[in-house]
Amino acid sequence: MDFRPTEEQAAAADLAARIFRDLATHERLAAAGTGSDAELWKALTTAGLTAAVEDVGLLGLVLLLEEQGRTTAQVPYAATCAYGILPVAAHGSAEQRVRLLPALGSGEAVATGAFPARGRITASPDGRLTGTAPVVPWLRDATHVLVPDADRALWLVRTDAAGVGTAEVETTAPWSAGRLTLTAAEAERLGEGRAYEEVLSTARTAFAGLQAGVCAGSLARAVEYTSTREQFGRPLSTNQGVMLRAADAYMDTEAIRVTAYEAAWRIDEGLPAREHALTASWWASEAGKRVVHAGQHLHGGMGADLDHPVHRHFLWGRQLDAYLGCGSELLAELGALLSDHAAPEGDDA
């Protein structure tokens, strides 16, 4: 394994860090409310950071999403890449790639996904979808939704197509989410075979990378606050309890990061990675929850202020804890998968 970023990946991450730092300020995020920041999204797409995901791969995307997570920037970056650019590039036909990838890369089109599959959406023999996805992140911004049906076949649905209905839904984090209702809606098939499992593993890894950035940003704010806030004539950071809590949060953040890197590297290399994506997602859920709680607690009374920047990290961390499966759900899925691999050939137990 080699997690060292290529020169192209490092350059893209550095550029993303500058754009997010300059535009995803506390004041702009507060003004955005639950919507996304159109100016920031335009800056990212104009800089080529969306289209670049085709070249930098999933590991490069994880590095880019870390930078988004540090600032909790409200743009549909993870969704468009995980449910649009990478699935179309990997599983789309030649015609779909030519038609869709330029639009997704330029920001003209925005993608999201109704993941994971819950069996609520069915497909007719002529490829029309019926059913409901209660919560779809960034649906309010999306032009296309990647929808798995009850048989886990993948379909691309345009949000402006006949039979497609959307309604706003408020989630823990301000992700411009919505409810997707399909009534004999037109759709086009994307990929076949194990496409669903591969896209889900890619999404889990990408959102784990986003969580690593959210946790790193929360911890950085806590370190800055405890280093400058004094109690009894000395900084809070000199208190042993504060140091130990921060150290635990740092180790948890690094565990999320390294497992996301490993899963992304394996997927980029074409190696089996379903267990690794589940592991990264489990760490993002369980450890991510601990880190954002610690970040808020280390701010003391300030952490209870809903308008304080650290509270936004708390909201994102809790949303990512539940999205794509909470810790216990992921652990059960991972255990079943490992059990299947360990069973002797011909053993149905």
Residue 292 structure tokens: 């954002």
Cα(195)–Cα(153) distance, integer angstroms: 8
Confidence category of residue 344, pLDDT binned at 50, 70, 90: low
Asked if pLDDT for residue 1 goes beyond 70, the answer is yes
Q: Kind of pairing, strands 144-148 and 111-113?
A: parallel
d(CA 12, CA 10) in angstroms, rounded, equals: 5
Rounded average pLDDT over 182-211: 97
- How far from the centroid of its chain's Cα atoms is residue 145's Cα? 15
Give 142's DSSP letter.
-
Contact yes or no for 146/104 (Cβ under 8 A): no
**Per-residue pLDDT at 245 exceeds 80:** yes
Residue 231 CA to residue 116 CA, distance in Å, equals 47
Q: In angstroms, how far is the first alpha carbon of the chain from the final one?
A: 34
- Contacts of residue 328, Cβ cutoff 8 Å, sequence gap at least 6: none
Taking residues 142-171, report their average pLDDT: 97
All residues at 6 or more sequence positions from 22 whose CB lies less than 8 Å from its CB, including other chains = none
Query: pLDDT (tens digit, 9 = 90+) per residue, 289-331?
Result: 999 999 998 988 788 788 889 999 999 999 999 999 999 999 9
Residue 164, SS3?
A: strand
Q: At what angle do helices 53-71 and 195-228 cross, to 10 degrees?
A: 40
The residue whose two tokens read 């690094």 is 254
The percent of residues above 90 in pLDDT, for the chain, comes to: 84
* Mean pLDDT across 66-75: 97
Quote the pTM value.
0.94
Strand segments (E) across 187-278: 188-189, 230-231, 234-235
